[in-house]
Structure 1
Amino acid sequence: MSLKSLLALACLILSQGTILLSYLIALQYDHPKVEACNPFFQGCLNITDAGIYSPEGYVFRGGMIAACAFFIMWWAVSFKEIKFYTATRLNHIASSLGIIGAILLIIATAVLIPPREAINWDVHVSAAILFFLVTFLAQALHLKICLRKKVKRHLSKLSLKIKWVAVLVQAIMIIIGLSLKHFDTGDEIVNAIEWWLALLIGVYFYSGYYDWKRSR
């Protein structure tokens, strides 16, 4: 296993591990809007509510900002790998968007300092929504590059399948989520979609594990 494959694995484990650990800690305290459920299917709370208060807030902010650093490293590694196989402007665009997405998540996370009333929710919500949209676009463009013959032949078939599923499901969920937001309904569904999108983004990063296993 190479350091690059460990990086891909860390992107998934650190991001999802931080979210789930923060939620489990939050359940031990009587914090507002924190309920016990399966958030992926019941949507009883959004990710933000699982990581605002103390002590889980320290885990959430530290873990997510660290995960974003790994996301940025992933995009840098991917850029160099693809550049070795083919020269395309899309590689620059996808990598730049991916890094911008990670920075947006850092901003969205950094403002989550309690008390709840003092949080700049406009900045948080805007940055969080843009993170999901920009990262989806970056991963979709990255997938398009990966499907080119010069690149595809160097990638794992399993990796390509994972990328396809992650991007396709993200697209469907984003359309549903934005539609529900527009009509100001389905809060629980939107919450569940947020949990799934965070997971799928991490899964896309994880797909690089299979491509980079033997890479130096």
Structure 2
Amino acid sequence: MPRPKFALWPLPLFIALVFLGAVHLAWWLSLQAGYIPACNPYWEGCTSVSRAARHGLGNHLFRLAVLPCALLHALNWWLATVWLREGEVPMRRTEPNLLLMLGLLSALALALYATFLGTEGETYRFLRRYGVVLYFGCGFLAQLLFMRLAMRGGRLQGVPARGMQGICVTMLALGVMNVAASAFVADADLRDRIENVLEWQLGLLLVGWFILQALCWRRDGYALVLSRRGAP
């Protein structure tokens, strides 16, 4: 009798969909309530992701969705480490531990950001700002390391591999553009709009990366197999 299996590819897909839905629902609710101006934030940059999810019902729903999503982030990176180890991917002893550490730091930073979103005060503003920076920074490094190890072991190929590479190169380019805008754009309003546009686009690329991770795991058949006694 075959043992029951639970496919794990829906986990990164669910993370992507929750992010996409939470951000855009919060944006729409804030727009309807008049908290933010009407525009296409991906091209016009009239509001940041944080401002779109900072007020009213949108803030409550955003935090309600993103805080559990931070826990799913941590689970996802732990499962990614297990996947690489069980696939006998050639790795240095420190590499899987580094991947897990980066993933957990990214998840913790996301939880920190969502917890204090909508609060007032300089301390909370600092925590939100650096929570975002740490989330994207550690998450990006974890993505790069995941790709490197998975491609080294032949477990990441074809469309997911090329797509992830393209997304990471684009994310790096957006990060460089953000630094350049902060340093060289004198007009404060224009600088804020550029930074907002890059933030929205960066978030969309992040969603795309998790979707490609889900495709990779689906092709690989990564699943949780239970024993006859119900233990994994």
TM, length-normalised to structure 2: 0.83
Q: Percent identity?
A: 20
Per-residue Cα deviation, 1:60-116 (whole angstroms, up to 9, x for no partner) = 1111112212211110111101011224322221221021011111111111234x4
Change (3 A) 1:2 1:173: farther
1:161 aligned onto 2:165: no
**Is the 2:151–2:157 contact (alpha carbons within 8 Å) kept by the matching residues of 1?**
no
Alignment partners' CA distance in 2, 1:7 and 1:156: 20
Is 1:27 aligned to 2:31, yes or no? Answer: yes
User: Which of 79, 92, 96 is the aligned partner of 1:91?
Assistant: 96
Q: How many residues in Structure 1 have an aligned counterpart in Structure 2?
A: 210
Say if 2:56 is the partner of 1:63: no
The one-letter code sitting in structure 1 at the alignment partner of 2:16 is L
> Is 2:8 the partner of 1:10?
no
Structure 1 outlier segments of 4+, above 4 Å: 116-119
Where does the alignment leave 5 or more consecutive residues of structure 2 unmatched?
Answer: 224-232
Match of 2:107 among 88, 91, 102: 102
Residue 118 of structure 1 deviates from its aligned partner by 7.8
Report what 1:133 is aligned to: 137
Distance 1:92 1:146 in 2: 15
| SS in structure 2 at match of 1:100 | helix
Gapped regions of structure 1 (runs ≥ 5): none
Query: Which deviates the most, 3-12 or 195-204?
Result: 195-204
2:210 matched residue in structure 1? 205
Give the TM-score normalised by the residue count of structure 1.
Answer: 0.89
- CA distance in 2 between counterparts of 1:188 and 1:113 reads 20
2:43 is aligned to: 41
Is the 2:83–2:222 contact (alpha carbons within 8 Å) kept by the matching residues of 1? no
Q: Which amino acid aligns with 2:69?
A: A
Residue range with higher mean Cα deviation, 119-128 or 16-25: 119-128
Structure number with greater Rg is: 2
In the alignment, is residue 190 of structure 1 matched against residue 195 of structure 2?
Answer: yes
Alignment partner, residue 215 of structure 1: 222
Paired position in structure 2 for 1:173: 174
Q: For 1:192, give the aligned amino acid.
A: V
SS of match in other structure, 1:120: helix
- Distance in 2, matches of 1:145 and 1:205, equals 17
